[in-house]
Structure 1
């Protein structure tokens, strides 16, 4: 009897070079920036330091021909950040790649999952 009911999850990292990659963490950061309008707020939601969030965005902005995130400094009116058109496109392409890979590998993942050991009490 198959008691392994949790679905496998693909976590895809696309590596373009030694320091140039995009994966689930950077994609999530981009999504949260898009929703929050702030790099700092997006980082906080991910339990990520302000410095780390900015470093990741700096890396992403340097990787592509055009920046993925456009930010304005804080001040009396407050700062903020938005995804650029390129940022939205890169994020959409990454998420589409994830979906394509999951669909293409679904049968193999199911077969592999069927071979997992049954673990009592989910431990």
Structure 2
């Protein structure tokens, strides 16, 4: 079965804010509670992961990620409720876009037959 594949992302003032790769990183941070572990799990450098998270946080009206350094409980990194909402909203938008494109593609294939 043929399908159309597409990548979408959300920009703010011409700069990427949220896309597939950033959502993947956020989900790994939520799972591992660590930027370092999340970056390693998806084959990304810690510096790049940190830069992406910092960019998302500063571009957003609310932080998506909160980091706690050291301390009694050893710190940790957490996705905020807003960050979880952005993950869900992005995935909903991405799935809707893919479904729309495949529906249009199937219409074209039917016309071609």
Q: Which bin holds the TM-score, normalised by the shorter protein? A: 0.7 to 0.9
Q: What TM-score do you get using the length of structure 1 for normalisation? A: 0.77
Separation of aligned partners in 2, 1:109 and 1:81: 41
Choose from 39, 60, 67 the match for 2:35. Answer: 39
Q: Compare CA radii of gyration and give the structure with the larger one.
A: 1
Q: What TM-score do you get using the length of structure 2 for normalisation? A: 0.83
Runs ≥4 residues deviating over 2 A:
5-10, 18-21, 74-79, 107-114
**Which residues of structure 2 form unaligned runs of 5+?**
none
1:43–1:50 Cα contact (<8 Å) kept: yes
Give the superposed CA RMSD: 2.2
Count the aligned residue pairs.
110
Correspondence list, 1:1-123, <5 A: 5=1, 7-74=3-70, 77-110=73-106
Q: Could you say if the C-alpha distance between residues 51 and 74 of structure 1 is closer, same or farther in structure 2, counting changes exceeding 3 Å?
A: farther
Separation of aligned partners in 1, 2:102 and 2:52: 31
**Which residues of structure 1 form unaligned runs of 5+?**
115-123
